[in-house]
Chain A
């Protein structure tokens, strides 16, 4: 990637951003910040660099600090690069009761990384997260927008294999906004 390539949304993403902004009253465009940051994270390799945050600030005509303080508050925003597939394993009570520890240990072992690290090939980043609302189908993990539930180590093996072969960035946001 060229160093001085200007950060900006693709034409489609820009159109989506405009539609998101139109959902809030006149003068309240800042409300669009979180949805647009999701869009930006999808556009720019799964994380938000300072340049990307500045770009989003300019889109919404707000100060860069207003973007930084939001990015650092919410756990879904990554302010550092992540692997193509961000694996987020729930470890809260219901998942823990049904064996999430074993799932985390297995993934660590299999990918030879610790929680918070990215595999050497840049393919996987492993994160542990708090309850994702799948407690009835525990243990579970999220990758991109997809929930993988009722996990066993065998299921995890299959999933990792599938993701590796697909070899594409797990996309969080495919079509958040529909036309009407």
Chain B
């Protein structure tokens, strides 16, 4: 069994409560940090750990923390990104539901490192039942002296609040999230300035994913160097993977970065293989925004080595033959799944979620949805396949935020790897158009 740093105690009865969580060693990172470390020493440990942001982009967390403007007179904020809306991703929900105190603990230790006196957890509005779980955990932390004034008798004080959104994927993008937290529409901001300089209320702000903040707890407990020993190369530590689709055991799994993709899919410890004794067709390895890979490319890299569950190995081969670890939303499709249909659900999603600020994204995502809709409904044209690729190209790199790329990449990769399926869909439709014409003349 792989090492568990986050989910070690998840099956402990009552672990949602402060009492049991504390008995299992909870809040040790807060005690250690506040009583024996300077804030910058906490940041230093996170740097040494090699931890990379678990929200999708994989940016080194320690480095992000050092960018925070510490010379400014303004208050600093830590905002936890619990918006989790990337299709195929449900690990943050799992973590918050079962281990709410792990997130609260991580927020306290991280806020201390950053010098934040007020921190927020921005959670997608649909997770309202988790808001209650978190509120309760926070209440318990206050009651036990881990939040509020003079935590553990030190001169560090922190207030922590949960803030629900109201249904908008784009609010997972960090600057849209900050707009939303300020009570506005979730329109991403132009960068620079980056949140580290001017974020929430134009104050220096760090935005980190739920899992990133939770990982700070074991990092402080065991030390950054120990943490960095787990994993391969620049992919250190453990990662939560949300596994869904046509597998025997959908669910959230904590893996040591570096296990082979094949093991992840077929081992009983994880996905348990493809359901109904069917064959594997394709995998979306890191949430809806990353390129889709067919079965033959998901197991081996361009160099012919076994592909591993790491940032680098999944990306090997670039967009020609590789993909990305992304948010760890691992969607598996069996031989019966239609790639055209699946892509249609993604494109409809991005069109629905575009904030509308940039025309390439607003209009382009609409076109993608429309073309895919007619392909699946039987009104497509032969030219539609190339049109899809061309629309995707015209979105990519021309927008304020990366949602444009997120909408374009799945399209480009699906057509590249499964072109025949798209052409067949178009031909089927042409045939039926001919048939329709024939029928009409009879």
Residues in chain A within 8 A of chain B (CB atoms):
23, 25, 28, 30-35, 37-38, 60, 62, 66, 69-70, 73-77, 91-94, 96-98, 129-138, 142, 145-147, 172-180
Structural contact, B182 and A31, CB atoms closer than 8 A: yes
A96 to B244, CA, bound (A): 11
**Most B C-beta atoms less than 10 A away, residue of A34, A74, A145, A174:** A34
Which 3 A-B pairs have CB atoms at the shortest separation, nearest pair first? Answer: A74-B166, A75-B167, A76-B167
Given contacts A74-B167, A136-B90, contact A93 B125 (CB under 8 A): no
A19 to B135, CA, bound (A): 13
Stretch in B223-231, B245-253, B302-310, B399-407 touching the partner: B245-253
A142 to B126, CA, bound (A): 8
Given contacts A76-B167, A93-B284, contact A133 B90 (CB under 8 A): yes
Set of chain B residues within 8 Å of A32, measured between Cβ atoms: 183
How near does chain A come to B121, taking the closest CB pair, in angstroms?
11
Given contacts A133-B124, A135-B87, contact A35 B164 (CB under 8 A): yes
Structural contact, B88 and A97, CB atoms closer than 8 A: no
Structural contact, A178 and B135, CB atoms closer than 8 A: yes
Structural contact, A23 and B185, CB atoms closer than 8 A: no
Structural contact, B129 and A146, CB atoms closer than 8 A: yes
Contacting residues of chain B (61-117) with chain A, CB-CB under 8 angstroms: 75, 84-90, 92-93
Set of chain B residues within 8 Å of A174, measured between Cβ atoms: 132
A57 to B41, CA, bound (A): 45
Residue of A nearest to B201 (CB): A28
Structural contact, B87 and A131, CB atoms closer than 8 A: yes
Structural contact, B345 and A96, CB atoms closer than 8 A: yes
Tell me which of B84, B132, B185, B349 contacts A70 (CB under 8 A).
B185
Tell me which of B88, B126, B136, B163 contacts A178 (CB under 8 A).
B136
Residue of B nearest to A77 (CB): B166
Contacting residues of chain B (224-282) with chain A, CB-CB under 8 angstroms: 242-246, 250-252
Stretch in B11-19, B30-38, B138-146, B380-388 touching the partner: B138-146
A108 to B135, CA, bound (A): 37
Residue of B nearest to A179 (CB): B139
Residue of A nearest to B251 (CB): A136
Structural contact, B184 and A147, CB atoms closer than 8 A: no
A179 to B136, CA, bound (A): 9
A132 to B128, CA, bound (A): 12
Structural contact, A137 and B84, CB atoms closer than 8 A: no
Set of chain A residues within 8 Å of B250, measured between Cβ atoms: 135-138
How near does chain A come to B377, taking the closest CB pair, in angstroms?
14
Residue of B nearest to A74 (CB): B166
B341 interface residue (CB < 8 Å to A): yes
Q: How large is the interface on B (under 10, 10 to 19, 20 to 34, 35 or more residues)?
A: 35 or more
Residue of B nearest to A142 (CB): B126
A125 to B150, CA, bound (A): 49
Tell me which of A23, A73, A129, A136 contacts B161 (CB under 8 A).
A23
Set of chain B residues within 8 Å of A37, measured between Cβ atoms: 166
Residue of A nearest to B128 (CB): A145
A37 to B89, CA, bound (A): 27
How near does chain B come to A148, taking the closest CB pair, in angstroms?
12
B329 interface residue (CB < 8 Å to A): yes
**Most B C-beta atoms less than 10 A away, residue of A132, A176, A177:** A132
B288 interface residue (CB < 8 Å to A): yes
A180 to B159, CA, bound (A): 11
A145 to B161, CA, bound (A): 20
If A130-B87, A130-B352, A131-B288 are given as contacts, then 7 extra A-B residue pairs at C-beta distance below 8 Å, sorted by A number, are A25-B201, A93-B284, A97-B333, A138-B244, A142-B126, A172-B128, A173-B128
Residue of A nearest to B245 (CB): A97
Residue of A nearest to B148 (CB): A180
Map CB proximity to A onto B174-192 as digits: 1 under 8 Å, 0 otherwise.
0000001111111000000
B337 interface residue (CB < 8 Å to A): yes
How near does chain B come to A11, taking the closest CB pair, in angstroms?
21
Set of chain B residues within 8 Å of A93, measured between Cβ atoms: 87-88, 245, 284, 288, 331, 342, 345-346
Structural contact, A145 and B129, CB atoms closer than 8 A: yes
Structural contact, B84 and A34, CB atoms closer than 8 A: no
Set of chain B residues within 8 Å of A34, measured between Cβ atoms: 125, 163-166, 180, 183
Structural contact, B129 and A92, CB atoms closer than 8 A: no
Tell me which of A25, A28, A30, A132 contacts B126 (CB under 8 A).
A132
Structural contact, B244 and A73, CB atoms closer than 8 A: no
How near does chain A come to B346, taking the closest CB pair, in angstroms?
6
Structural contact, B138 and A147, CB atoms closer than 8 A: no
How near does chain A come to B143, taking the closest CB pair, in angstroms?
7
Set of chain A residues within 8 Å of B132, measured between Cβ atoms: 174-176, 178
Set of chain B residues within 8 Å of A31, measured between Cβ atoms: 163, 181-183
A176 to B184, CA, bound (A): 20
Set of chain A residues within 8 Å of B129, measured between Cβ atoms: 145-147
Set of chain A residues within 8 Å of B126, measured between Cβ atoms: 76, 132-133, 142
Residue of A nearest to B161 (CB): A23
Structural contact, B342 and A97, CB atoms closer than 8 A: yes
Structural contact, A70 and B244, CB atoms closer than 8 A: no
Set of chain B residues within 8 Å of A142, measured between Cβ atoms: 126
Contacting residues of chain B (332-347) with chain A, CB-CB under 8 angstroms: 333, 337, 341-342, 345-346
A178 to B133, CA, bound (A): 10
Set of chain B residues within 8 Å of A70, measured between Cβ atoms: 183-185
B353 interface residue (CB < 8 Å to A): yes
A66 to B329, CA, bound (A): 35
Set of chain A residues within 8 Å of B168, measured between Cβ atoms: 73-75
